[in-house]
Homo-oligomer: A and B are copies of this chain.
C-alpha cells in the first residue's frame, strides 16, 4: 500500500474536495419535494466523468440513477452505493445558517445533505483522485450507483437493480453511510432495518366549518385521525396490527455479542437529547441496544389538521393527516405491513382513513464475520485512533436488501458521519477532520480490493 503518498495527496488537496462538496450541497435535491433532482444528478455525473468514469444517467420511474464505472488492474469490483437526494430542510427557522448555503464553523461544514450523504460521496471521489495521482490507475474495478430517492424509500431502486443486474454486478458494496460513533471509534454497520412510510388521511366534509356550528353534530377529521392512530399502538409500545410481529427475527447470539461490545448509550442519549427516560423504562445498555434496532416501530413523524397558527381559531377541520413510519426488522416486508394496516383500520371502523404509500423496503443484514467486513475493519486500522466496532444492525433504513437480493454482495461502511452530524435534522454537519479520515479509509478499502 502506497498509503503515505495517497494520504499526503488527500491532506494537501482537501480544500479542493471540500469546495466540490460545498458546490454539491449548494444544489438542493429534495426528493420528497421534487426539488433540484435532475440538476443534482447532472452535477454528480460531471464529478464522476472528471475522474475518468464512464457515466450514464439512467431513467427510473422517478429520480434518475447515476451509474458510473471505471476498470482497474485487478478483477474484483467494488460497488459504491450513494444517493444525491437529501431530506427536506424544514423547519428552516432552526438552522443557524441556510441549509443550502454550506458554511464552515469551528471545523465543521454545515449543510443539508453534507453528512447524508453528499460528503461521503465526495470523500470517495477524493480518495480516487489520490490513488489516480499516485498510480495512474485503480487497483480494482469501481462502479458507482448514485440514486436520487433514498430519502423517500428508494421507491424505484428495486426494479432498476433487478433489470440491471449484469451492469451492476460486483463483489463488495460500500454503503452510503458510515463514520464514527460518539466515542470516535469507526463503525462497520452491516445491517439496516427496513421501512414502510405512509401518510394517513381523513376527510370528513367539503370544507372547514365553524366549530360552534359543527362541533356537536359534524364528524371531525382530526378526531377521526386521533382515534385511528390510537388503535395502532398502545401506550406500552405494542404495535397492534394483526400479525405485525410474526416475522420478526430476534438477534442471534453473535449479534448480541457484538451489541454488547458497543458503547453504553444510556447516559449519552439522555444528555444529548434531553430525555427524561426511555420507552419501556429500559435502563440496561444491552437491553436498550437490542430494543433500539431489533424491534420494529410505528412512529408518528408528523401531524397536520386545522388551525396551527398563533392563538385560537375556532374551526372544525375537514381534513387531517399523519405521516407514519414503520421501521421493519428482518423478515418483515412493507407489503405485509401495508396489508396489515389496511385490515386493521377496516376492522376498527376506519375505512374512511386513506393510506398513502410513501415507499419502503425490507431490512437486511450482512454476516458480521464476512471477509469483506474484515477488509473494511483492516482498512480503518491506521486511519483512526481506535479499532473498528461492528454494529450488526442500525436503526436506520436503506435499500441494502436490494443489493443483497439481486447482486448477492456483502455490504461494508465508510464515511464522515459522527454523533454530531444531526442527520435529517436542522444544522446537519460533518467534521472536516473526519472527512479527511473517511477519504483515507475509503482509499485503503480500494487498495485492499486490489487483492480481494
Contact = CB atoms under 8 A, between A and B. Distances in A.
A252 interface: no
B317 A209 contact: no
A362 interface: no
B291 A32 contact: no
A273 B214 contact: yes
Contacts of A277: 219
A314 B316 CA distance: 28
A216 B297 contact: yes
Interface stretch (A76-84, A158-166, A225-233, A433-441): A225-233
Copies per complex?
2
Interface in A271-314: 273-279, 282, 288, 291-293, 295-297, 299-314
B306 A215 contact: no
B297 A314 contact: no
A197 B358 CA distance: 35
A4 to B, nearest CB: 37
A275 B213 CA distance: 14
A191 interface: no
Contact of A314 (B282, B306, B309, B424): B424
A425 interface: yes
B300 A304 contact: no
Interface stretch (A8-16, A371-379, A390-398): A390-398
Given A90-B309, A226-B300, A279-B218, A425 B207 contact: yes
Nearest to A274: B206
A430 to B, nearest CB: 15
Interface stretch (A48-56, A319-327, A331-339, A442-450): A319-327
Contact of A230 (B33, B212, B227, B317): B227
A231 to B, nearest CB: 9
Contacts of A223: 233, 299-300
29 contacts: A32-B311, A32-B312, A88-B313, A90-B309, A90-B313, A152-B311, A195-B212, A195-B314, A199-B312, A206-B274, A209-B273, A210-B424, A211-B301, A212-B327, A212-B394, A215-B325, A216-B292, A222-B303, A223-B233, A226-B226, A226-B230, A226-B300, A230-B230, A302-B305, A307-B323, A311-B358, A313-B323, A314-B325, A315-B424
Given A214-B395, A216-B292, 12 more contacts: A88-B311, A88-B313, A151-B313, A205-B275, A206-B273, A209-B425, A211-B327, A213-B292, A213-B395, A215-B297, A303-B317, A314-B325
Q: Closest 5 CB pairs between A and B?
A: A32-B311, A212-B396, A206-B274, A215-B297, A302-B306
